[in-house]
Amino acid sequence: MIRTRAISERTLRALAVFGLPARRCRRTPDVRFAVRRTAAALTSAPCVLLTGPSGAGKSTALSALARLESARDTRTIRIRPDALARDERTPPEIIRRAVGPMLTLLSRCGLSDATLLATPARNLSEGQRWRLALCAALSRAARPGATRTLIIADELCAGLDELTALGVLAGAASICSRTPGLVLAGATARDDVAAMARGQARWRVIDLPTQEPRP
């Protein structure tokens, strides 16, 4: 059985010639609903997490949210840990802040090990690069005089063990809640990350339903 979200009658007839049955599926959940809920949640909490299985529309909703906020003159910073895979700079060279605030940020993002300070980003593990990318985004957003800033974190805490992910969630929420105008919207398919976010007062979790076929 072939399933597709938007199939024309002409395509159905063509498939029938080859004996390939097909039926229509429901369209991907309307991302406008998720965007509205996320934007509303960010007015009462510094951090919002979209959760749901692959194909639920999490990434699409985050991109739509970024466009919406940009139209409102909100500064948007998207976390891209993959960009650090070839970066020769060390964490202090990437963060570029005074020693005290820099070490505080690194610690809150789970990068407090002193040996990491001299390690090029490309030599860090995938999880460490993710945390460094979050730290760099928080550093850019937390500078004095900045207007409203939205951090987009797709695949939140990807590659991190539960304990480290819990620390990153708590650290990000703490920094966002203490920085006026700073909010974070993330997405994950991990049930454990969603459960940990639900257990923290500064996070709001929005569940996106899976796409289901029509009967």
| Phi, psi torsion values for 181, nearest 5 degrees | 80, 0
At 16 the pLDDT is: 66
Q: C-alpha 182: how far from its chain's center?
A: 15
Give me the pLDDT at residue 214, please. 43
Residues 6+ apart with CB under 8 A from 190: 51, 157, 165
Would you state the pLDDT for residue 145? Answer: 55
Structural domains present in the chain: 28-207 (3.40.50.300)
pLDDT (0 to 100) of residue 150? 93
pLDDT at res. 20: 62
| pLDDT at site 203 | 96
**What is the per-residue pLDDT for 17?**
64
pLDDT at 125: 87
Please state, in angstroms and rounded to a whole number, the distance separating the CA atoms of residues 185 and 39.
9
Low-confidence spans in the chain with pLDDT less than 50:
1-6, 24-28, 212-215
